[in-house]
Amino acid sequence: MAKKRPQTKAKRPRLDDAEVPVVGAREPCPCGSGRRYKACHGRTAAQATTALVQRPFEGLPGECDWVALRELVPAATVGLTLRDGLPEGVPSVTLATVLPMAWPALRRDDGSVLLGLQNDTASGDISRDLADTLARALTADPGTPVQGRRAPADGLRLQDLLAPEGAFEPEVHSGFEFWVPDPDNATPDVTASLERANAAAIPTVRLQSVDAAYWCETPDKNHLRWVMPHEEERLLDALARLHAAGRSSLGEGTRLVGSFRAHGLTVPVWDLPSEITAQDIEKPAAEFAERLAEALAADAALTHDERRARGGLTNRQVTLS
């Protein structure tokens, strides 16, 4: 008998990374490697989608206020300006800290769009997830909420959709009544959600004398939380210089107690006596801003006392994101 010739399979041509289409996780990878997609190019795609973007709001007008509304402020809204203008049938687009039922976005009956900021996101880039939600809300049927999803790794970001110029001026609210333009006709679920949200909201005021500083009232004491744009190490050095010199407070009874880290920015926090209102702290905050500018400009090495002060501030940092 004649010998059978060994059968050989023609090798599939390998595709460039950019040419590999998305398939099911357990299917063979289209690149021709012979491995399942999830163990080959699917792994790269997943990593690209979940990679953490440290400063998701960088480059947007009002980056510090974006961070504050995402992490610190219970109830606030701000009008958004789209780079290409409003689509037909969409009279306005408004960013909101929270929406009823924790909806990621809502297309109202009149066609206007509300975009929720404080929702969980599926990827490591909040900007991309929000942009994906916003884009879908612009074309959603009026009167319907928009659900969240994991945005494509190559999807647009807020920086692509929003106009780069113009002011970003949040309006802080005492409650969430902005959810329902007609409370008498709200559904029972929305009404119940509104009542729960209002009961949990901490009274908050945005200062006018400085940028991205928010006074808030709690039962035992008040606080000032101030989102600052400066590079973290340089800011901590400056705060340490002021703290060691006894110049870091905002007046009698106030105290710089530490800071938050949030979305790539640092948020110094002061404890305030309960009798100090937001109006009371406007002038001291403006004066502190001048002292901080001087400290930021200093380039001498930290003294022993300043290093100790810096160590104390660093130990009292809490990361929010």
Q: Which residue has the higher pLDDT, 164 or 187?
A: 164
pLDDT range class, residue 17, cuts 50, 70, 90: low
pLDDT beyond 70 at 50: no
Mean pLDDT of 277-294: 98
How large is the angle between the packed helices 232-244 and 278-297, nearest 10 degrees? 110
What is the full DSSP assignment across 250-274? Answer: SSTT-EEEEEEEETTEEEEEEEE-T
Reported as a pLDDT band with limits 50, 70 and 90, residue 31 is confident
Residue 96 has pLDDT above 50, yes or no: yes
Q: Are strands 317-319 and 255-262 parallel, antiparallel or unpaired?
A: parallel
pLDDT score of 301 more than 60:
yes
Determine the average pLDDT of the residues in 176-193: 84
CA angle 218–224–281, rounded 5-degree value? 105
Q: Give the rounded percent of residues in the chain with a pLDDT score beyond 90.
A: 71
Between 60 and 191, residue with greater pLDDT? 60
Determine the Cα–Cα distance for residues 273 and 217; give it in Å rounded to an integer: 10
- How far is residue 157's CA from residue 155's CA, in Å, rounded to a whole number? 7
State the pLDDT at residue 13. Answer: 54
Average pLDDT estimate for 254-280: 97
Rounded CA-CA distance 316/310 in Å is 10
CB neighbours (10 Å) of residue 46? 15
Q: Report the pLDDT averaged over residues 285-289.
A: 98
pLDDT reported for residue 94: 98
For range 133-140, the mean pLDDT: 98
- Residue 175 neighbours by CB under 8 Å, 6+ apart: 75, 194, 197, 198, 201
CB-CB neighbours of 181 under 10 Å = 12
State the chain's mean pLDDT as an integer.
90
Length of the chain: 321
Using pLDDT thresholds of 50, 70 and 90, give the confidence band for residue 10.
very low
Query: E-strand spans in 63-151?
Result: 76-79, 93-96, 105-107, 113-116, 144-146
- Count the alpha carbons within 13 Å of 50 in the hemisphere toward its beta carbon: 6
Question: Average pLDDT, stretch 288-309?
Answer: 98
**Res 42 pLDDT > 70:** no
Neighbour-count burial for 138-177, b at 16+ CB within 10 Å, e otherwise: beeeeeebbebeebebebebbbebbeeeeebebebbeebe
β-pair type (93-96, 113-116): parallel
pLDDT in tens, 97-125: 999 889 999 999 999 999 999 998 888 99
Tell me how far CA of residue 49 lies from CA of 57, 129, 133, in angstroms.
17, 10, 15
Task: Tell me the per-residue pLDDT of 207-262, one tens digit each, with 9 for 90 and over.
Answer: 999 999 999 999 889 999 999 999 999 999 999 999 999 999 999 999 999 999 99
Q: Are 204 and 68 in contact (CB under 8 A)?
A: no
Instruction: Compute the distance between CA of residue 131 and CA of residue 125 in angstroms, rounded to an integer.
Output: 10
Four-point Cα dihedral 40, 41, 46, 51, nearest 10: 110
